[in-house]
Amino acid sequence: MTPTTIVPPALRLGAVLSVLALVLTGCALNTEPDLTGSGAQDSGVVSAPNSTGGPYDVSALLHPAHKYVGAALPGVPQSLDALGPYEQQIGKKPNILEYYASFGDGFDISGARRIFASGAIPYMAWEPYTPSLTAIASGSSDAYITSVAKAVASVDLPVAISFGHEFNGNWYPWGRQATTPAQFVAAWRHIHDLFKAAGATNVIWVWSPNIINPARSTRLQPYYPGDAYVDWIGVVGYYALYGEHTWNTLFEPTMREVRGFTKKPFFISETASQRSPRRQADIDDLMSGIETHPDVLGFVWFDIVKRADWRIETTPGPLADYRQRLSNPAFGFDIRNP
């Protein structure tokens, strides 16, 4: 999530303006917005040799018996320097690593392979700062999308992708203040169809709303592309200093609403607890919630300084508790043998 991505000039300007808007307007509670384009590299890394086999079969990874232990770490996917120290501190090998890429960036093939070699699924949060979702759905970016899809297919390993995460909030240019549900669904389906046509069936598609608490009047179902286009429901929610801070008030309202229109499994695709005297209780609450919900596949801990210091390693007591909770055999598994 550090801004290391090489982005074409037009995209760079769009991203800068979007970030400036966020700084000026602030952000909703219980969400940690935008770390623009720290993921994939520019279009120079899109091409790759053809895979010797067919696309990776992700079916066994869609609802594994054990929980995913994920992390968002600085420098990923270009560098995994932060992974070793983090793994040592938490006592568990992360098996999914999330990173952020702007729409217009190429897919970082070497980075994806690097992540998979470490024992984790690469998870790209794809952020469409520009062009508009209407333009994407109309086909204006088809050549780019197809090139990314072919690159994803070529790596022959599982890749999780969320497009336009936190679409129900108002802190991103693809959010509810600028994009209708119909426009979001049309863009999502169009991208999905282009990936399918390119043979990129090795993708786990993560539809990723923010928790509904900051935007209770915005219904989620109109934004849902349909079960044929989604594998996981990737809920974003943070234990911040203010706002909701229990599983029952933070995540359950969103999960209940989603269960009204799909039975797809949940994945907590971004979470962390802000540093406070309550942090250890937050961690216990999060881990208990994941443990006791069979339809919650796991989580990604956002271990990066952004607006707040979310790093678990900065608080020894909560870190020890987190490490102890992760020692439960229910957490973590070998993605090559789920």
Tell me the HSE value of 166 on the side-chain side, using a 13 A CA sphere: 25
Q: Which pairs with CB-CB distance under 8 Å and at least 24 residues apart come from 111-115?
A: 111/39, 111/40, 111/41, 111/76, 111/77, 111/78, 112/77, 112/152, 112/155, 112/157, 112/159, 113/155, 113/157, 114/77, 114/80, 115/76, 115/77, 115/80
What is the 8-class DSSP label of residue 265?
P
pLDDT of residue 1: 36
For 71-120, what is each residue's pLDDT tens digit?
A: 999 999 999 999 999 999 999 999 999 999 999 999 999 999 999 999 99
pLDDT at residue 324 in the model: 98
Q: How far is CA 290 from the centre of its chain?
A: 17
Name the pTM for this structure.
0.86
- The predicted model gives 30-34 an average pLDDT of 53
Three-state secondary structure call for residue 159: strand
- 166 flagged as catalytic: yes
What mean pLDDT is predicted for residues 138-147? 99
CA dihedral of residues 130, 105, 84, 330 (deg, nearest 10): 60
Q: What percent of the chain is modeled with pLDDT above 90? A: 80
- Domain ranges, ordered by start, for the chain: 9-326
Q: What is the mean pLDDT of residues 161-168?
A: 98
Nearest to 318 by CA among 297, 301, 305: 301
Q: Which of 13-17, 23-27, 190-194 has the highest mean pLDDT?
A: 190-194
Q: Determine the Cα–Cα distance for residues 296 and 33; give it in Å rounded to an integer.
A: 23
Higher local confidence (pLDDT), 32 or 138: 138
Indicate if the pLDDT at residue 7 is higher than 90.
no
What residues contact residue 54 under an 8 Å CB cut-off, 6+ apart?
156
Check 87, 98, 244, 270 and give the catalytic one. Answer: 270
Task: Tell which residue, 18, 20, 21, 1, has the closest CA to residue 10.
Answer: 18
* Beta strand pairing call for 68-72 and 121-127: unpaired
Amino acid 129: pLDDT = 98
142-154 and 109-117 helices, crossing angle to 10°: 30
Question: Is the pLDDT reported for residue 61 higher than 90?
Answer: yes
pLDDT band at 213 (very low <50, low <70, confident <90, very high): confident
Q: What is the model's pLDDT at position 20? A: 34
Active-site annotation holder among 127, 166, 257, 291: 166
Above 90 in pLDDT, residue 125? yes
Q: What is the CATH number of domain 9-326?
A: 3.20.20.80
- CB count in 10 Å sphere of residue 197: 11
Catalytic site residue 98? no
